[in-house]
Copies of this chain bind each other. A is one copy, B any other.
């Protein structure tokens, strides 16, 4: 696990004024991403307040040396795959140097200032070429609630508390925040129809998830031990795993969700590093009494002690009605990463336990992280109990599922006494009508 050091000092301030007290990107965060400035190509950068530090420019200005330069070089291109492949050492060296450069009193302020772009003048891109995308199902409240809707008699499968359930998703259709999502068409079987029909999805949903970027990978045939698993994490993001519930209900047996999920997923743009999250680790919440102990290949003392994440996650809805009346987005759910039944290290150890090879830039999703009640749901399917009880918005609008023009916004933040709070940046997308 990442150690605490001077980069976490809550008193540390940046000469980039907007960073101080910034909800997402104070100097204690320093996440990596890929952006294009106006009239420029895609390149790697670091978010600081409402600015982005251009790593190519900073390298050219001679601001890095040694391990930090190596990491900055790898993080300066049009994808972060090479940077993710470097692992923790170079990444930490670069973080330390970035913290120095951006801190008040840095002797290099003028040189660094010349490498900054205003974020509103930039286009954000996917931070990495995603080789494979795996979605897990570790939100136990979600698994239970959704299981009840799909299988009233059998909500949680007998394997759930033994196996970190996961499945492969679609890498090609993952988009960066801000990219609109077109409502899918698909085959569904309405309960009252004689046969299936084909048309626009009627039960469009979001899923509130954490994403995990794989840093260093493993060779095929060589599992990652649970004790080493955290070292293979390159960072975190938010993930909206859009879901077409009517398509899903008809297609998912026996091989799992396919077209119900692969039309689009949306992620936040910034790779939040394990170092930035070091203050927000927590012990595994502990399994409810009577739950089975995980098998040895999923058990590690350090992971039990600090493998969980003290991260609040939130999903909001903006509609045309709210926009027209100048109202704020409606909070659909406020949840927390502690509702993950399995840790990220357990997900990685399980994924590779059969020899499956992970590669730098692969993305893992947590699965929907809902809390135990209606205010903490990570999907509208849960919040409206399968569409039965609509959500009523301040604009007077009602929602059973998502409508065209709706915009779903996800946020995440770490907050802990004695540390500067940090955020993930938004994961946001608007729904376009079926084409």
Q: Kindly report which residue of chain B lies nearest to residue A179, judged by CB atoms.
A: B220
Taking CB as reference atom, which chain B residue is nearest A156? B254
**Taking chain A's interface residues, is the majority helix, strand, or loop, or is none over half, making it mixed?**
loop
- A6 interface residue per 8 A CB criterion: no
Contact A259 B297 (CB under 8 A): no
Stretch touching chain B among A228-236, A352-360, A371-379: A352-360
Closest to A143 in B: B254
Which chain B positions have C-beta within 8 A of A253? 157, 159
Q: How many residues of A contact B (CB 8 A)?
A: 68
Contact with B along A218-232 (1 / 0, CB 8 A): 001111000000000
Pick out which of these stretches binds chain B: A11-19, A50-58, A185-193: A185-193
A137 is an interface residue with CB less than 8 A from chain B: yes
Using Cβ atoms and an 8 Å threshold, which residues of chain B touch A223? Answer: 185, 435
* Residues of B contacting A168 in the complex (Cβ-Cβ under 8 angstroms): 167-170, 258, 262
B contact residues around A147 at 8 Å (CB): 254
Interface residues of A in 240-266 (CB under 8 A from B): 244, 247, 250-259, 262-264
**CB distance B262 to A356 under 8 Å?**
yes
A171 close to B (CB within 8 Å): yes
| Contact (Cβ within 8 A) A295 B256 | no
Q: How far is the CB of A243 from chain B (nearest CB, A)?
A: 11
Q: A168-B258, A355-B435 are in contact. List 17 more A-B contacts (CB 8 A).
A: A132-B171, A157-B253, A159-B251, A162-B187, A162-B189, A163-B187, A165-B251, A165-B255, A171-B171, A182-B355, A184-B355, A221-B435, A222-B435, A247-B354, A254-B256, A255-B256, A263-B355
